[in-house]
Amino acid sequence: MDSLILKGIQFVGHHGVSKEEREAGGRFSVDVTLSLNLSTAGHSDSLKDTVSYSEVNQVVLDIGVQNRYHLIETLAEQIASSLLKIFPSVQEVDVQVRKLSPWVPGFLDFVAVHLHRSRK
């Protein structure tokens, strides 16, 4: 299976367990790997034969910015299920959500979740 990969989609989102964290917002970074057959697009050189990475990027931004979740697990799940629903040629999706500078004592670059979902 071929892959379309988007790394480091960043936005300010309002996700977190505490009310204060959801109100203040924070930086998030998302990586998405879509598994699909890219051979037709490779030969046709036509956008209609693939998935537009611009559209994938917009789906991630819309979900990350327009919604508020307590858990980054929920954010990742919503992104994965939406991508599978919107793009029927995608057979599998990997989503990694990183919460940059999470609200924890001390210094932590990020905390992340990674999930894999498929049509099967």
For residue 15, give the nearest of 79, 69, 52 by alpha carbon.
69
User: Exactly one of 48, 85, 99, 120 is catalytic; which is it?
Assistant: 99
The two three-digit tokens of residue 3, written as one number: 């892959």
Whether residue 99 lies in the annotated active site: yes
The two three-digit tokens of residue 92, written as one number: 């599998």
Active site residues: 99
